Structure 1
Amino acid sequence: MFRIAKCCVQNESKLYNAALRRFISTTSVQCKTVQNADKSSPTQAENHSFVMHLFRGQIESRQVFPYPNVLTDEQRETLNMLVDPTRKFFEEVNDAGKNDQIEKVEEKSLAALWELGAFGLQVPQDYGGLGLTNTQYAKLTEIVGANDLGVAVMLGAHQSIGFKGILLVGSPEQKAKYFPRVTSGEFAAFCLTEPSSGSDASSIRCRAVQSPDGKHYILNGSKIWISNGGIAEIMTVFAQTPVTDAKTGKTVDKVTAFIVERSFGGVTNGAPEKKLGIKASNTAEVFFEDVKIPVENVLGGVGNGFKVAMNILNNGRFGMAAAMSGTMRGCIKKAVEFATQRKQFGHTIDSYGTTQEKFARMAMLQYVTESVAFMISANMDAGSKNYHLEAAISKCFASEAAWYVCDEAIQIMGGMGYMRETGLERVLRDIRIFRIFEGTNDILRLFVALTGIQYAGAHLKELQNAFKNPTANLGLIFGEASKRVVRKVGLASPPAMDHLVHKDLAPLSNVVAKKIDAFGQAVEMVLIKYGKSIVNEQFILNRLANAVIDIYTSTAALSRATASLNNGLPTANHEKLMTEAWILEASDRIDNNLKAIASGKSLDNFTKLTSIAKTVCEANGVAQLNPLNL
């Protein structure tokens, strides 16, 4: 049979080569700048990102199998010592409902949080912090997310992004100066978004110009929707600065990051914003008028601000997934307590299939979110630099899963769930922002798809270069052509995963492996068909992103369930069932998304949707009259 495939290679390779040449002749896949694009990623050979390799139809297993467990005994003991006080704080001190009503965190809660060290969880101990790892941080964030998302946002705005830049790229002098302050009573904030600059972070207008004596930068401009903006003393601020190229002598504007203190003068803020949710979190516009910033307060180098901003955001997203997994735990607990007590038609409502289906899906979403969040945090703790796509996926998936779970918890509880007394209406309002801030889910999906496509496209460019000297690269060309012919005649095998999982999960791993192979083929097809214009095909990109999200989440569940089975955990069979159910449905979603990007009917429907949207926008709203023609 292999001889049959081999005989077809020459003819088949001609067809493939022609298509490949068309692709290469029209494109050198260059993704437009998308929020959170990582311009400093390691070389392709060094990249261990599982998601990145999916775009080539490959399995890079090092960051997903076995399920990572990086805590030392000492770190686990430290975490255990922090878990109980954190839970006790929310049980005995903090009142989430009251924080929401008064639209700020009560002073007694703030004092207790400072006392607990909650504002310096990852600051090294030498500077007054707790020096926690990402995994330890994720666990505490999960507890906070289960209890009060207003507090979670305040804490996250302070340390996950507010002073995170100092932690990541700050100089020793900057760390020594600011860490003792942000751990002992001074709030921090992250100032990026502007009225004219939302998801397109590179288009900011806030401007800083160096003073004639070269000792200061003079900052002018404003930022909007800044969490902790009305209470922060120390801010990471991003502004355009003129930068002269040493080689060409040309001066252009580039974004630079600065550490700005309110005490510098010229820093003011507006009143707290009135918001749908997270009302306890202070959100305000911040104004900068002739603020004198010492040159030593440049963070990460002049002109490197965009890189610094993206590094901060990429580094902190796993924390949102951890918080959302905690939120879902809380919602499920409330719904279960109600459903197991509430009787209708002679039975408690948890005995009915409709309610059981809701609980099963809620439990699966929480399990998958938690699996992804702690996988990423462990990868980061193990020293990985290749987690940005996974972190973006975790934020998208977790925020949407939490919305679904909370909404279903309210539905299970009926009228009681709608009442303020239950607390779920507050949670629903609070959750909504997580699909928007720190990179909207829409932008992050494009980021995932375009970054992965760029990685896949580089491989096709390598083949194009090989065609320029076919004699010297015959092995590469023949190997690629053979692979495609073998695949076409049905002899190819998908990448293997069964050796990585527990034997009871091997059939599921084969399902996921087949989807990885199909996904890689779909990406290649899209690259050859659309070339560089793929950046404009958002209907296609979104479906690729959705497919890769399902593949990654399925793999994370497989890995965690395998670890539970191998370790004989009491919940191992429960986790196995959730993983089986999740992958069964995820597999169907992957098929549907991949079919949509190749189906003529679907592509035609995308065109229809575009036309409908244009008509609505041209009409400034709904285009048709109502049925009464009024």
Structure 2
Amino acid sequence: MFRPVTVSLLKYNRINFQKIALQQCFATAAEPKVIQKTEKSAEKPTEHNFSFTMNMFRGQLESKEAFPFPDVLTEEQRETLHMLMDPVERYFEEVNDPFKNDAEEKVPDNVVKGFWELGVFGLQAPIELGGLGLNNTQYARFGEVVGKYDLGVGIFLGAHQSIGWKGILLYGTPEQKEKYLTRVTSKDIAAFCLTEPSSGSDAGSIKTRATLSPDGKHYILNGSKIWISNGGIAEIMTVFAQTPIQDPKTGQTVDKVTAFIVERSFGGVTSGPPERKMGIKCSNTAEVYFDNVPVPVENVLGGVGNGFKVAMNILNNGRFGMAATLAGTMKTCMKKAVEFATNRVQFGKKIDSFGAIQEKIARMALLQYVTESVAYLIAGNMDSGSKHYHLEAAISKCFASEAAWNVCDESIQIMGGMGYMKDTGLERIMRDLRIFRIFEGTNDILRLFVALTGIQYAGAHLKELQNAFKNPTANLGLIFGEASKRVVRTVGLSSPPSMDHLVHKDLISSASVIAKNLDLFGQTVESTLIKYGKGIVNEQFILNRLANAAIDIYTSTAAISRASYSASKNLESADFEKLLAQTWIFEANERAASNLKAVSSGKHLDYFSKLSQISKKICENQGVVQKNPTDAL
């Protein structure tokens, strides 16, 4: 527990601060140990984290990975991108048939053959190993194009390279890369095998096991995986299994997850029939079984016992691509809706003149612009060497998947009965979109990931401050830097961090709105930690609202960064982009302020309690509790 900053301590340090204000700030602060390793991370120095979102949880503005909007492509890279995109777009328009793919629930062999010839199965693999060597920004542009045409094919291609063999690219030894990347870029489909019947979001609870053979040359793999994209057709798989490991500290044998590169040709690998799904029907999804599969020890990926880290980093590394893909899907939905609205006449007027329709189209444009901005901001940062994009990537997946669903839904609404018909194509897109809020980390889990990871970072800072009081003389700078901030906040003299110098002059007023909420966000997180301590992990109503506020503040920042960049370059669309950014920032930050207020509002806490009671009662009753009105008497 924090202890009050006493008068004697202040006298000891010979600095005259408002001790009452300091006592109010620290006296009731609970130990902010949110998840394991918080204390260790606080005690040893670590490299500075440049994540905008992570620092938001401390109420700090870290602008390095938000401003200016990244412009990472050289002229040569732009030319390469255009040379690739032109034939790919033509192929989707002239050869690939999304209606046929959906109806037959597969991508025809001749179409797949064409994709191999285009090189799109190896976009980010090194050129010397058969790939195209694209960076993340170029890959995002490819995803956006695929998203415009066929999300089922997008999953087929993405599951292969965004997660299927991405682990080999990130963690593979030179020998593993030489052996396998040359195959996955030329002939062999890859898959990512993590999910199991008893472990969905809880990836650490997998049951599949791999034990070392007596001769020490192989791991014997046994278990099963479900809902594996490309599972029925993949030859090369990244598989995660529990392996027994001796703990060097205790000498006890414990189970830890390890990643393996598994070939179907090893023997003992079989697949179930293709799953029948709501959408993305042409993407093969199947259960995969491993029966005494001998996996050579040299096929361990990323080190024995490091599988959980490997899995999470693969997923984190690829999430921005989902946002880019869905930005392309939104373009298609908008195009169909706008074409209809500008031609459909009702009550003597084209319906695009009606305010209700204008609001829908405008909000669709906002969601598409923000999604695209977030995707390319993250991709650009990754290409610039960022290591701190994990929260932003999670936000991009949550935001994009929900934004695309809303855009598709509103497009159908604008088109009315016509939008509901199969031939329009929106019906298929809506079915395809539904999975994006579920797979590669459900949005519910990712929101908790954002909130708890950020809170741990904020809590580590408070723990550091707590430890500083154990040796106040050596930590005066830290103690009184924090004390000063709390004093001026207490007496109402604090001001939010300024973003004025980071944005275009026409966007300064919008920047001040973001900065104000960023400051409020940090204060709210701190007060929440003080109130709940480590018990915050169980307060999911609160965590969700913190995550939602973080999403709104980060997406606002991405939008204003991009709009400022466009204005600085005098792009033709600059004025329109400023309009988009200003409008989104107003909407998103109104919502963020409301969510932050709800975290500490007694009325809202009571509302959360009532929701919990309702849910418990429904679950106890296994359904609706009340009788039908006709049975009430």
CA contact (8 A) 1:93 1:108 kept: no
1:611 alignment partner AA: Q
What is the SS of the residue equivalent to 2:18?
Answer: helix
* Pairing partner for 1:478 from 455, 464, 480: 480
The structural deviation recorded for 1:463 is: 1.2
The structural deviation recorded for 1:393 is: 0.2
CA deviation string 1:26-78 (max 9, x = no partner):
x4232699xxxxx9xx9754211010000000111011100001011111110
* Pairing partner for 1:404 from 403, 406, 429: 406
Change (3 A) 1:563 1:225: same
Aligned-partner Cα distance in 1 for 2:497–2:596? 18
CA contact (8 A) 1:509 1:558 kept: yes
CA contact (8 A) 2:21 2:490 kept: no
Aligned to 1:624: 626
Aligned-partner Cα distance in 1 for 2:508–2:613? 46
Aligned to 2:305: 303
Aligned to 2:35: 30
Deviates most, 475-484 or 565-574: 475-484
The structural deviation recorded for 1:338 is: 0.9
Pairs within 5 Å for 1:163-174: 163-174=165-176
Query: Unaligned 5+ residue runs, structure 1?
Result: 1-5, 34-38
CA contact (8 A) 2:220 2:293 kept: yes
Aligned-partner Cα distance in 2 for 1:522–1:250? 42
Pairs within 5 Å for 1:192-203: 192-203=194-205
Aligned to 2:525: 523
CA deviation string 1:455-514 (max 9, x = no partner):
000111111112223344344323322211211222111101010000000111111100
Aligned to 1:386: 388
Aligned-partner Cα distance in 2 for 1:52–1:189? 31
Pairs within 5 Å for 1:478-517: 478-517=480-519
1:9 and 2:9 matched: no
Aligned-partner Cα distance in 2 for 1:482–1:211? 62
CA contact (8 A) 1:189 1:229 kept: yes
CA contact (8 A) 2:34 2:452 kept: no
1:122 alignment partner AA: Q
Aligned-partner Cα distance in 2 for 1:171–1:308? 14
Number of aligned positions between the proteins: 614
Pairs within 5 Å for 1:402-551: 402-551=404-553
Aligned to 1:18: 27
1:185 and 2:190 matched: no
What is the SS of the residue equivalent to 1:627?
Answer: coil
What is the SS of the residue equivalent to 2:220?
Answer: strand
Aligned to 1:3: none
CA contact (8 A) 1:375 1:556 kept: yes
1:565 and 2:567 matched: yes
* Pairing partner for 1:610 from 598, 609, 612: 612
Pairs within 5 Å for 1:586-601: 586-601=588-603
Aligned-partner Cα distance in 2 for 1:617–1:435? 24
1:372 and 2:374 matched: yes
1:323 alignment partner AA: T
Aligned-partner Cα distance in 1 for 2:526–2:552? 19
What is the SS of the residue equivalent to 1:463?
Answer: helix
Aligned to 1:36: none
Change (3 A) 1:44 1:429: farther
The structural deviation recorded for 1:608 is: 0.6
Aligned-partner Cα distance in 1 for 2:167–2:313? 8
CA contact (8 A) 1:68 1:375 kept: yes
CA deviation string 1:270-329 (max 9, x = no partner):
000000000010000000001000111110111110010001000000000000100001
Aligned to 1:119: 121
The structural deviation recorded for 1:346 is: 1.1
Query: Unaligned 5+ residue runs, structure 2?
Result: 1-14
Aligned-partner Cα distance in 2 for 1:166–1:379? 22
1:9 alignment partner AA: Q
RMSD between aligned alpha carbons?
Answer: 1.5
1:331 and 2:333 matched: yes
What is the SS of the residue equivalent to 2:619?
Answer: helix
Change (3 A) 1:43 1:151: farther
Aligned-partner Cα distance in 1 for 2:221–2:416? 52
* Pairing partner for 1:207 from 209, 218, 236: 209
Pairs within 5 Å for 1:13-162: 13-20=22-29, 23-24=30-31, 27-30=32-35, 44-162=46-164
Aligned to 1:353: 355
The structural deviation recorded for 1:357 is: 0.4
CA contact (8 A) 2:34 2:537 kept: no
1:82 alignment partner AA: L
Aligned-partner Cα distance in 2 for 1:475–1:283? 57
CA contact (8 A) 1:226 1:285 kept: yes
Aligned-partner Cα distance in 2 for 1:247–1:19? 36
Aligned-partner Cα distance in 2 for 1:605–1:539? 10
